[in-house]
Structure 1
Amino acid sequence: MDLLDYINRGGTLVYILIGLNVIGFSIMLFKLYVLSSAKRNMDSTANLIASNFVNKDLVQNEINVEIKKLELGLNTIKIIASISPLIGLLGTVLGVLEAFDAISKSGLGDPTIFSYGISVALITTVAGMIVAIPHYIGYNYFIGILDNLELKLTGKVLSKI
């Protein structure tokens, strides 16, 4: 059985998970670009903030505004990481329900009827985890980068005031 067979057996929920995966990875690639640009332009950003604000409270507020701009999209990644296992679990419940429905209609004489529903259940569970794990890792990776950027930017701005 190849990958496309597994995807087709998983049904609609697997296609939803694939869509979420594409959206999430697109956001993560964009975040890599944005954060690498922010690192390269940190000196000019620090100069701009330092030249426009003298009060340290205003400086910190402006740094927070800059970091909030860089955080754009991270909540979507976090949501994808959170709901993907739940969608997989929904597929599990639906697959088990389908298996028991098949048993109630045809009895226990043919175990393949029951096993098909269970296999669908497991496919959606695996798909949900496959989507969730890299998004969870990516989200935490980007949070770490943002924390580091904030510390460096604050240090550079305060050294210029």
Structure 2
Amino acid sequence: MSVYDFSAKTLQGKDVSLADYRGQVLLIVNTASKCGLTPQYEGLEALYKAHKERGLTILGFPCNQFGAQEPGTAEEIGGFCSLTYDVTFPMMAKIDVNGPTAHPLYAYLKKQQKGVLGTEGIKWNFTKFLIDRDGQVVERFAPTTKPEDLQAAVEALL
């Protein structure tokens, strides 16, 4: 099994198979527009622009489970990301990452790479999962890990 076995909807409501990203390095991030960590969008976009030609794709998954910090509609989220941070990497539809309604992709990611002290649950917005070109989950990064601190890990997989 790999991340390629899952699909998700884009912010525009289009179904996308993650198999479409086969052969690329993926960074999957749960995002929020009204969080103290929201400025990480800027670093994520810089990381994406620096490495997309070599095969990096970042997938943003808005989530409203942490302090209700992503209350907007798909249109509002897309507008915010585009206008405020010039986000050009793919943004997916809002999902849950924890609990019984967690998106199946996130249930898988959490089992593959546990968090601090071996816990599976996502603790906050901007938890990051790094996926290799074979669709395997390589590493999990804490919400406070800045995108620029991921350079070496990303480059090692490109």
Q: TM-score range by the shorter chain?
A: under 0.3
Q: Normalized against structure 1, the TM-score is what?
A: 0.24
- Structure with larger RCO (C-alpha < 8 A, sep 6+): 1
Task: Write 1 or 2 for the structure with the bigger share of strand.
Answer: 2
- Indicate the structure (1 or 2) with the bigger Cα radius of gyration: 1
Task: Write 1 or 2 for the structure with the bigger share of helix.
Answer: 1
Q: Normalized against structure 2, the TM-score is what?
A: 0.24
